[in-house]
Amino acid sequence: MKLIQIICALLVLAAVATATISHSDCSLDTKVLGSWKQDSTTITQYSITIENHTNKMIKSIHISTDKTLTLRDKSSIWNMEKNSNGDLTLPIGQPTIAAHSSHTFYCILKGTTRPNLHIKSISF
């Protein structure tokens, strides 16, 4: 019974933590930089800017992705780390985003579908 109570408490905490993320705190801006044909495949390069709209430093951020993040190859994303679960996190060289500042990363994808990226969690 205690295990069930602990699990319920953790679920409530997780729901509260994700509910506190708002578009007024942080936003993602995706821009197409260019598109070209490579063999018979269309390739598109994107820049994605993470904007910190708060007075606090972002200490970590996790951005969820889905099947639309179709990297051309493993080296086709930079200024961001891609974890084994598919989440994107800040690179070791820039682990934070200052208050009222931004961080831009880039990727080269197969096709022309804009990647679906969502802020999963932020630590200030």
User: Is the pTM of the predicted complex or chain greater than 0.75?
Assistant: yes
Question: Per residue of the chain (124 residues), what is the pLDDT tens digit?
Answer: 544 444 434 343 333 333 345 668 999 999 999 999 999 999 999 999 999 999 999 999 999 999 999 999 999 999 999 999 999 999 999 999 999 999 999 999 999 999 999 999 999 9
CA separation for the pair 90, 52 (Å, rounded) = 13
CB count in 10 Å sphere of residue 120: 15
User: Across-strand partners of 61?
Assistant: 122
- Comparing CA positions, the residue from 89, 93, 73 lying closest to residue 81 is 89
Of the chain, the end-to-end C-alpha distance in Å amounts to 34
